[in-house]
Amino acid sequence: MNKKIRQWILILSGLLGLVLAVGILALCTGSAGIEIKKIPHILLHGRDTAEYSILSGIRLPRILLGMAVGGSLSLAGTLLQGMFRNPLVEPYTLGISGGASLGVCTNILFKFYAVIGIIAYPLSGFLGATLVIFLVYSLNRGTQAVRSNRMLLTGVMISYVASSLVMLLMALSKSDDLQNIVLWIMGTLDEPNVSLIRIACAGSLAGLFVSYFFCMDLNALLLGEEEAASLGINTLRTKKILFVTASFLTGLSVAVAGIIMFVGLIVPHFVRMMTGPDHRILLAASFLAGAAFLTLSDIIARVIISPLELPVGVITGIIGGIMFIWALSRRKVTL
CB neighbourhood size of 218 (10 A)? 25
pLDDT, mean of residues 281-305: 93
Interval 142-200: pLDDT, tens:
555 455 567 778 888 888 888 888 888 888 877 777 777 777 777 888 877 888 889 89
pTM reported for the whole predicted model: 0.89
Cα 214 to Cα 283: distance, rounded to the nearest angstrom: 10
pLDDT, mean of residues 125-130: 84
Cα 65 to Cα 294: distance, rounded to the nearest angstrom: 10
pLDDT, mean of residues 88-109: 83
Contact 297, 316 (CB under 8 A): yes
Question: Which residues lie closer than 8 Å to 67 by C-beta, 6 or more apart?
Answer: 19, 23, 201, 291, 292, 294, 295
- Asked if pLDDT for residue 132 goes beyond 90, the answer is no
Interval 261-283: pLDDT, tens:
889 888 998 899 888 889 999 99
Domains parsed from the chain with CATH numbers: 3-329 (1.10.3470.10)
Question: Which residues lie closer than 8 Å to 195 by C-beta, 6 or more apart?
Answer: 118
Using CA atoms, how far residue 335 sits from 31, 87, 149, in Å, is: 43, 7, 11
3-state secondary structure at position 143? coil
CB neighbourhood size of 316 (10 A)? 28
The per-residue pLDDT for 333 is 54
Query: Which backbone phi and psi does 284 adopt, to 5 degrees?
Result: -65, -40
